[in-house]
Every structure is written in C-alpha cells, then in structure tokens.
A = this chain, B = another copy of it.
C-alpha cells in the first residue's frame, strides 16, 4: 500500500453487559463524538451475540458521530465486557478475528473503574442486575464476587428478586413469615405460587432483577421479609466495601441501577467513604484503549 494515505484513527469505548452494549467513539485526542446502544455483549450468554453487539454498537456510534466514511478498521477499541473475568471467556473473546485496528479487552469492572475515577487506580462496587467489586492499586487488581445470581451476587437486583421469590414460596408453605411481596409479585407478574416457579425457571437474571424495585419499595415501607432481604444484601455490599478499602484505593464509587436506592442501607462508615463517579464506563473504555495503545507503542 505504498503511497496510500494513512487513514485517521479513532477510539471506540465499549461497555458490554448482559442486557445491552454501549459504545462511544472519540477522536485521537479522546473527545467523544457519538454514542450508540446495541444488544447484549456478555459472552457468557453467547459469544457470537456479544461479538455482533459490539460491531453493531460500533457502527451505530460512527453513524451517530456523523463519521460515515470511517471504517471499523480505523477504530482502536477498548472493550470492557461482563463475563470475561471467567478465564475461558476471556480467551475466546481474545481469539476473535475482529474487524478493528486493535481490540483491547478488559473486564467491565476495570473500564467502569477507570471511568468512575478518570484514573487507572481506584475501587468500584457495581449493583445492578448483578453485583461485584473491583479494586486496582499499584498495578494490582482484585475482583470480588460477580459470580452470577445463582452463586451469589448478594445485594444485586437479580439476587433480590430471587430471594423475594424464595420468601414468597416459603410463606405459601407456611414455613416462612407472611410478606406483602406475595401480592406485589403476583401483581407484577400475573402469577403466584407454583405458577411463579414455571414463569421464572431458566429465565435470565434481568427477569429476576425486574422484581428488585418491588423489594426495595416493600423494605422502605417496613415489610419485615423485604427489609431482611435488602438488609442482608446491603450487609454483603458493606463487607465488600471494607474489603476493597483495605487495599487503600484513592477513591471508592458505587455504580449501577440499584446504587442510589441501596446507599441508605449501607453501613454509615461505608457511605461516608463513597465518592461520586466522574464518568461512565464507555468513556472509561476509551481511556483504557488510549492507555493500552500508549503502552503498546
């Protein structure tokens, strides 16, 4: 290609999760030019789907930025994906014959942390559909939790929904206390008792997480069962915060869909140590791509 003009490079930051994928494109100086959403990009739920969602979000971001003549091959991608904390999935995504100029892969946690602190060092707790913690100090990182709501994810939306369903079934068997969650969940899903099991069996975490607002509302209204669930979840998140703070990160933020409503339930000393997130994960992913590019050159 002697004599061909060198095409300008752009950065693409991708925040890929179990329900959607967000990508933002930035110029060589890191200024964000456009963003777009696409489908799920957690390879745990489908490697091919994750790859397609990333490509689709990339095209969407270019279009939204008006960069119609820019090809995917001009994009230096930083991608933070849920699920790639599992070594097998990290490997399979690394082996992707991607269409980009470069593809720097990290966990969703790392790019969220960079975004929240505008720095490669810090700690975050995510409480949305799932829950997990992440800290990076002195180049060393530690992940806590994030195993999925079947195995833990205490304090997350999916976990709250599952615990609520368990409590409703115990109450139906007169083996647990009565709770307003029985009626609240029946109202939202249109089913109760055994039909609830049929309705939710094998469903993705987002279906369970859709019940979390009911649980928080019932807890805020003083329902003992809901209070116990939210309290137990908050206790786990507080304990996670203490573990993260023991690594002495410069800042700790809590992010995700449940972050705001869960904060009043956290231990006071944890709440006092929280800092507001400075930026979003997709912007953190752009910073990550720029940083990796710098290391690589």
Chain A residues with CB under 8 Å of chain B are 44, 85-88, 144-145, 147-148, 150-152, 162, 165-166, 169-170, 173-175, 194-195, 197-198, 200-201, 236, 239-240, 243
Contact = CB atoms under 8 A, between A and B. Distances in A.
Nearest 3 CB-CB pairings of A with B: A144-B173, A147-B197, A175-B239
* Candidate in A148, A165, A197 with the most chain B CB atoms within 10 angstroms: A197
A86 B175 contact: no
Contact of A150 (B87, B194, B201, B240): B201
A194 B279 CA distance: 29
Given A88-B198, A152-B166, A152-B170, 8 more contacts: A85-B194, A144-B173, A144-B175, A147-B197, A151-B169, A151-B200, A175-B236, A175-B240
Contacts of A144: 173, 175
A147 B240 CA distance: 31
B165 A145 contact: no
A235 to B, nearest CB: 10
* Candidate in A85, A147, A169, A243 with the most chain B CB atoms within 10 angstroms: A147
A170 B88 CA distance: 21
A195 B88 CA distance: 9
